[in-house]
Structure 1
Amino acid sequence: MFTAFISAITPVFLIAALGFFLARKTDYLEHPGLAMLSSQIALPALVFTSVTQMKVPVTEMGYLMGVTALCLAVGATLIAIFCKLLNTSPRFYLSTLVNPNTGNLGIPLVFALLGPEALASAVIISTTVTLSHWTLGTTAMSGQYNWRSLVTNMPLLALLSGAIVVSMDLTIPVPISRALDSISGIAIPIMVMLLGLSLARLKIGGARQVGIIAGLSIYRPLSGFLIAWLVVSLITIDTTAALSLLIQMSMPVAVMSYVLTVRYGGPVDRIAALTITSIPVSLVILVLIFNFQSALL
């Protein structure tokens, strides 16, 4: 089983390593439009095609989004309580320790470990987490809420469009369907290479308080896994969706949290360190999920 696990995730990390190498040695990934292409074009196409091709019922879609939101809400409540007890502001840690890296890393790993049939669940979960970044994350870090971030959120719009197509049993013309398939096909490779780019750019030399960083690195993936496991143990949910949720919630600190921390003037070095140091913990948890999935569900 461990060999199968390594075989499944190796392509993901090879592509990330390629992104890291390209970022160090070339300027191929430097154009700001590449990130926009991934988040505003390729990922929405992937969301739309996954939902429509798998024909996920709207009720199941909403249910999975609700389950994901429940996991995030429990995580946010725990962080708020811990920060209160420690007399520490949750401003930059609420979203960072609650919202996992479901985009650059979560979707590719779900696809690698569970196959194409889990892709729809993965993108629904990831879209929900993205919404959390642009609601919980931006509100906590900035101190104010911007509703326009929802109206202009392309993955959410793609998800809603896919839900309309499925609910109305509409048929997408073949040329359009093939075009969307081709566009969505570049989403995962670009996201993973951009993860490598982000890791290559991060500056962690000034990070201090190693013990705190180590503790938070363990907390983010482990708490996400335990919360998701508790939730799927208490509710009725499809096995594939449950495994996808366990994997996604066990992901490390999101690069998006680092980006938002930079934007709002937070502890950049510490959050940058967490995006890297939490990855090994996630990998250990993934091995456990992959090898003991029948015992978990």
Structure 2
Amino acid sequence: MNLALTVLEIVAPVFLLAAFGFGWVRMGLEYRTQFVTRLATTLAVPCLIFTALMQTEIPGSDLVRFTAAVIGAVLVLSMTVELGIRALSLDRRTFLPPLVFGNTGNLGLPLCIFAFGETGLSYAIVFFSISALWSFSYGIHAVAGRGSLAKVAREPMVWSTLLGSLFLWQGWQTPRFLTNALELIGQMAVPLMLITLGVAIARMTTHDVSRAVVLSLVKLAVCFALGWTVATGFGLTGTAFGVLVVQMCTPVAVASYVLAERFEADADTVAGMVMVSTLISVASLPAVLALVL
């Protein structure tokens, strides 16, 4: 009973904020998604990443091991999806990004904050940063047929990750007044991302959901098994173990839909996977949390 209540306290704020964004749009109220997304990705999230890394108290060896585990999990998942797509003769441009990339930012970061506290946030940010880098390079290449190293270099999230890692490595701290300001800006990130997630889902349209259900369940099963196996193999325990498994099990990233629409893949199919996998996560993520807490 206590575990069920704990899990409910963790997931309820996350899905309530997403539901608020969904309801806002359904009521016909204006929401400038492009502006809010740009504000979050270029200002709020980078500030959150930088301050979380700069102030983390996780030992360097633990962060290195966790980073290696994340890289390993992401690479193995990518190879597994590549092989699966070829075996099933699915369109690589359409299906690879949604099957590889989870919603580790909009959904993963808030879940890890509520479930594992500030330490969990630091680990979750490492996972999110690696996933974002892989998405900007490998993900775009899969959909568009070309790399995007220039885009990676221009991303504020990349620079905030590198700068935060440098400050952590050297033990540096920004002046207290600046840290307070950066933390205040970073606090916008979580609610903005969750509300925008709900808005994005409310605005999507799709017609074929049967295949989306099957693929979403397959993605969840593969990611859970892979996350658990990799975390165990790298000797992760406690918060690090839980964060890796939870981040692996997050639903299809909304960014996959954006990529499909931008580069003229089957955006309708990807939208179905985003919506279906997010709905499935309402039940699956509490179950995953119950196993790792």
Tell me the TM-score normalised to structure 2 length.
Answer: 0.93
One-letter amino acid matched to 2:157? P
Residue of structure 1 in register with 2:40 after alignment = 38
Q: What does the per-residue CA deviation read over 1:41-99, in whole Å, with 9 as the maximum and x for residues that have no partner?
A: 10011101111111445554444333212112111111111222223332221221011
Between the two proteins, the alignment pairs up a number of residues equal to 291
Q: What does the per-residue CA deviation read over 1:211-254, in whole Å, with 9 as the maximum and x for residues that have no partner?
A: 32221110222211111101011112242111011111101111
One-letter amino acid matched to 1:275? V
After TM superposition, the structure 1 = structure 2 runs for residues 248-287 of structure 1, keeping only pairs within 5 Å, are: 248-287=247-286
Report which stretch shifted further, 47-56 or 63-72.
Answer: 63-72
Check whether the contact 2:17–2:195 (CA below 8 A) recurs between aligned residues.
Answer: yes
Please state how far the C-alpha of 1:12 moved relative to its aligned partner. 1.3
Q: Are 2:71 and 1:69 equivalent residues in the alignment?
A: yes
Over the residues paired in the alignment, what is the CA RMSD in angstroms? 1.8
* Mapped partners of 2:33, 2:222: distance in 1: 36
* Mapped partners of 1:100, 1:31: distance in 2: 20
Check whether the contact 2:98–2:273 (CA below 8 A) recurs between aligned residues.
Answer: no
Check whether the contact 2:97–2:139 (CA below 8 A) recurs between aligned residues.
Answer: yes
Please state how far the C-alpha of 1:117 moved relative to its aligned partner. 2.4
Q: Secondary structure, in 3 states, of the residue corresponding to 2:147?
A: coil
User: Identity, % of aligned pairs?
Assistant: 26
Q: 1:4 to 1:147 in 2, by over 3 A?
A: same
Residue of structure 2 in register with 1:289 after alignment = 288
* Mapped partners of 2:119, 2:245: distance in 1: 16
One-letter amino acid matched to 1:81? L
| Unaligned segments of structure 2, at least 5 residues | none
Q: What does the per-residue CA deviation read over 1:17-48, in whole Å, with 9 as the maximum and x for residues that have no partner?
A: 11112223354421522111101110011101
2:193 to 191, 194, 205: 191
Q: What does the per-residue CA deviation read over 1:164-219, in whole Å, with 9 as the maximum and x for residues that have no partner?
A: 11222222101100001100111100000100110111012xx22x4322211102
2:204 to 177, 186, 202: 202
Check whether the contact 1:48–1:162 (CA below 8 A) recurs between aligned residues.
Answer: yes
| Unaligned segments of structure 1, at least 5 residues | none
* Mapped partners of 1:141, 1:12: distance in 2: 30
* Mapped partners of 1:160, 1:288: distance in 2: 34
Residue of structure 1 in register with 2:103 after alignment = 101
Residue of structure 1 in register with 2:152 after alignment = 150
Please state how far the C-alpha of 1:280 moved relative to its aligned partner. 3.7
Check whether the contact 1:100–1:251 (CA below 8 A) recurs between aligned residues.
Answer: yes
Check whether the contact 1:23–1:30 (CA below 8 A) recurs between aligned residues.
Answer: no
Q: Secondary structure, in 3 states, of the residue corresponding to 1:271?
A: helix
Check whether the contact 2:22–2:199 (CA below 8 A) recurs between aligned residues.
Answer: yes
One-letter amino acid matched to 2:14? V
One-letter amino acid matched to 2:82? A
Check whether the contact 2:33–2:196 (CA below 8 A) recurs between aligned residues.
Answer: no
Q: 1:16 to 1:283 in 2, by over 3 A?
A: closer
Report which stretch shifted further, 80-89 or 236-245.
Answer: 80-89
After TM superposition, the structure 1 = structure 2 runs for residues 103-182 of structure 1, keeping only pairs within 5 Å, are: 103-182=105-184
Q: 1:253 to 1:51 in 2, by over 3 A?
A: same
* Mapped partners of 1:63, 1:239: distance in 2: 13
One-letter amino acid matched to 1:50? A
